[in-house]
Amino acid sequence: MKKNFQKIIFILFIFNSAFLQAQRHRCGSAERLQQHILANPALQQIRSRNEIATKQWLANKGNFRGNTGVTTIPVVVHIIYNIAAQNISDQQVLSQIAVLNKDFRKLNSDSLHPQHPFYKYTADAKVEFCLAQKDPNGKPTSGITRTSTNIKKWDSNNEDDIKSTANGGHDNWDPTKYLNIWVGNLTGNYVGFSTFPDELVTAPELDGVVIAFESFGTMGAAGSGLGAGNVLGRTGTHEIGHWLNLSHIWGDAKCGDDSVADTEPAESENYDCPSFPHRANNACGTGPNGEMYMNFMDYADDSCLNMYTKGQAGRMQATLNTMRQALLTSNACSQNNIIENLDLRFLINVFPNPNNGKFTVSIDGDEKSMTTIYIYDLLGNIIKGPILFLKNQSTKEISELACGVYMLKIQNGSNFCTKKIVVTN
Ligand SMILES: [Zn+2]
């Protein structure tokens, strides 16, 4: 009898372990952020300042729906493998990029039906992704790096090492110009994690997203092993949401705040695939429609996630126009071979700056006949240009720019540099 009892306990233990593994959390981003704040309290001050800047941007650009610019973010995927199965194919990488380009543009085929009560909140976030075509040295690249490592697994003891060449992983590429994604054998309590943009200041070497190789993309190893339920690439969509400063919709507390107005308040995370309405009239005060479990920033299975809201899209745009502004002028996805040349910057003068919409660009040096200027707004739209400097012309008057912040892209032969200009009244 006693033996049978022990057997039952043992079986229960095995069953429970399997259950816990199946219930691996999607994401460790919030937990890691709290750890980093504890280790470096200045990070909380930076977050507070950035939150004010985000809210100010949203207040000034509250008519997000009126903006038309789409931002394309250059991506580099660092594949870190110990065995061949973890050295995922280029096709698996491309399948993840394809998911991102659907989910962030509301082009996913499982988007809510227009008659769904939450349809009115769904948004095109106007963000696209491309595999980088130029590496940080301006050399051609596939946007994929492959690193064979002796490290068998990455968990809470060593997971940041995947971001370090010296520790068996791969250093990130300039995080102001690229979205770095590492794919490896994550075996901890979650299948992905991301840094938040605030940490670009305190730990730029950690900036980026890490995803388990079984939860990345939609083919090959995707969905195998511990990746069951994560076979549609939505871990990538979720983590990049964090990377663009979104929080979980339950605000990581019971009925917590995610700083977004149009995600229904949620009691906690949701798993598997609830049916609508879920937790109607919940303790946080949702109406009869309940919680927005299908939001990419919840934990439901991939097949159940399908939307960002307008509020989340606005917040991501705010991030791209503030903390991650340098991405707007990253040219890592352009096919030509022009490269950023900081020396050129010192030959170009813009004055006055700030100005009232009228200013002068002057060029020192003797190659001015080859110089072209484009003026971009912060959404990446070309406002003026190309503006050509004639042979031997050293100054150019530019006028009629409305109030705002612009980027001047000044191209000289195979080099370019950028300058920010501010137009006030
Ligand atoms: Zn998350």
Domain positions in the chain: 25-326, 338-423
Distance 247 CA to ligand 1 centre (A): 7
Chain length of the chain: 425
Catalytic residues: 239
Virtual CA dihedral for 110, 115, 121, 123, nearest 10 degrees? 40
Answer whether 144's CB lies under 8 Å from 292's CB: no
The phi and psi torsions of 71 (rounded to 5 degrees) equal: -100, 130
- The rounded distance, in Å, linking the Cα atoms of 81 and 402 is 51
Is the CATH code 3.40.390.10 the one for domain 25-326?
Answer: yes
Q: What is the mean pLDDT of residues 278-286?
A: 94
DSSP state of 363: E
Q: Is the pLDDT of residue 109 over 60?
A: yes
Q: In this structure, what are the phi and psi dihedrals at residue 397, rounded to the nearest 5 degrees?
A: -90, 135
Asked if 317 contacts 260 with a C-beta cutoff of 8 angstroms, the reply is no
Q: What CATH architecture applies to the domain 338-423?
A: Sandwich (2.60)
**For residues 158-164, average pLDDT:** 97
Quote the pLDDT of residue 8: 42
| Dist. CA 337 → ligand 1 center (Å) | 37
Residue with tokens 């096709």: 91
CA neighbor of 408 nearest in space, from 374, 378, 382: 374
What proportion of the chain, given as a percentage, has pLDDT over 90? 62
Instruction: Tell me what pLDDT residue 380 has.
Output: 62
User: Model pTM greater than 0.85?
Assistant: no
Buried b / exposed e along 258-282 (16+ C-beta atoms within 10 A): bbbebbbbbbbbbbeebeebbbeeb
Sign of CA dihedral 275, 279, 284, 287: positive
Indicate if the alpha-carbon torsion angle 339, 324, 235, 98 is positive or negative: negative
The answer to whether residue 1 scores a pLDDT higher than 50 is no
Residue 238 CA, ligand 1 centroid: distance in Å: 6
Task: Look at residue 383 and tell me whether its pLDDT is greater than 60.
Answer: yes
Task: Using the mean position of ligand 1's atoms as its centre, give its distance from the Cα of residue 87 in Å.
Answer: 25
Which candidate, 359, 349, 353, 401, places its Cα nearest to that of 378?
401
Task: Answer for the pair 261, 269: CB distance below 8 angstroms, yes or no.
Answer: no
What percentage of the chain carries pLDDT values higher than 70?
84
User: Which of 112-121, 209-218, 227-236, 406-415 bottoms out in mean pLDDT, i.e. has the lowest?
Assistant: 406-415
